[in-house]
Amino acid sequence: MSRQPTPRAAAAYGAEEAFDPTTGPVVRFQNVGMRYGRAPEVLKDVGFTLPVGSFHFLTGPSGAGKSSLLKLIYLANRASRGTVQLFGHDVERVARADLPYLRRRIGVVFQEYRLLDHLPAFDNVALPLRIAGRKPQTYRDDIAELLTWVGLGHKMQAMPATLSGGEKQRLAIARAVVTQPELLLADEPTGNIDPEMSLKILRLFVELNRMGTTVLIATHDQDLVGRAGMPVLHLNEGRLSRKATRRAPEPAAPDYGPELGPEYEPEPDEPELGYDLGDEEGEA
């Protein structure tokens, strides 16, 4: 039997109270600190906002706290101090049992994939839609098109254990974006992917962003950051700063193709994504 949301949960999930983008950002951190147990803080006085429809990169050296910050946003952990607001709600005031209704509005690309080993690639991607109550006939063709887009069209029935690291990463990306989430978080999404596919994945993120999805990507790939030309949040020793956006110069042998930016349009020979990605454009 499906669990019926409490009034508070229904509001958090949007069933009774739609999030009004004119009243505040999707994410707001104010003086946030986080520690694990009694260890020193891994995040220190972090403050930032992610406006509706924005696209940011999160950079910083290993151990700077990037994954910890993402975990606070997708509600895997709670802050030790300060205020974290998500879709206009102070997460400390949302009951633990009601947090899933907020999480369903977020797509996450995990660094460690988190695929279900007993399900083939197709069913791993379909799982969020099944949980949302969608019927297979309403999404079968869309998932096939999405898997083809990320280069896995020939491995729809492959089990995760038979996939390479890069293939698992692309499968995790497809699962994260299939619901067209309001907020997309990605932790090193191109870490195991070749440069050509990295750019194609970035194009997918840009397309979702143009539809209205707010995007935050944690990465070490400075070349990819430079080509995107999006705002950068930088973490170092747990403290957050903003870095100037710089575009990388064109390479002598352009493996990445054209730069992405405000004037980017998909190339004519690229397949159009299904599930209405090309029918409506959200306001950024």
What are the tokens at 223? 């070349």
Task: Work out the average pLDDT over 232-247.
Answer: 86
Is there a domain that residue 121 lies in? yes
pLDDT band, residue 280 (cuts 50/70/90): very low
**Which candidate, 241, 242, 240, places its Cα nearest to that of 43?**
240
pTM for the whole structure: 0.78
Task: Work out the average pLDDT over 195-218.
Answer: 92
**Which candidate, 68, 56, 4, 29, places its Cα nearest to that of 234?**
56
**Pairing, β 27-34 against β 81-86:** antiparallel
pLDDT band, residue 100 (cuts 50/70/90): confident
What are the tokens at 123? 């069913």
Is there a domain that residue 24 lies in? no
**For residue 224, what is the domain's CATH number?**
3.40.50.300
C-alpha–C-alpha distance, residues 23 and 21, integer Å: 5
Q: How many domains does the chain have?
A: 1
Is there a domain that residue 155 lies in? yes
Is there a domain that residue 250 lies in? no
Task: Work out the average pLDDT over 107-123.
Answer: 95
Q: Is the pLDDT of residue 141 over 70?
A: yes
Is there a domain that residue 246 lies in? no
pLDDT band, residue 99 (cuts 50/70/90): confident
- For residue 11, the SS3 value is helix
Instruction: Report long-range pairs for 231-235 (Cβ below 8 Å, ≥24 apart).
Output: 231/54, 231/55, 231/56, 231/57, 232/56, 232/57, 232/58, 232/59, 233/48, 233/56, 233/57, 233/58, 233/59, 234/58, 234/59, 234/60, 235/58, 235/59, 235/60, 235/64, 235/65, 235/66, 235/69
Query: Which residue carries 């999707």 as its tokens?
Result: 26
C-alpha–C-alpha distance, residues 14 and 226, integer Å: 36
The mean of the pLDDT values for the chain is: 82
Order of all β-strands in the sheet with 55-59:
106-109, 183-187, 214-218, 55-59, 232-236, 239-243
pLDDT digits (tens, 9 = 90+) for 166-189: 999 999 999 999 999 999 999 999
Q: Cβ atoms within 10 A of the Cβ of 240, count?
A: 21
| Report for 110-114, 255-259, 271-275: range of highest mean pLDDT | 110-114
Task: Work out the average pLDDT over 254-281.
Answer: 42
Task: Work out the average pLDDT over 13-41.
Answer: 76
- Give me the domain span that covers residue 158: 52-63+105-232
Is there a domain that residue 209 lies in? yes
Is there a domain that residue 172 lies in? yes
Task: Work out the average pLDDT over 19-40.
Answer: 84
Is there a domain that residue 251 lies in? no
Q: Is the pLDDT of residue 19 over 90?
A: no
pLDDT band, residue 255 (cuts 50/70/90): very low
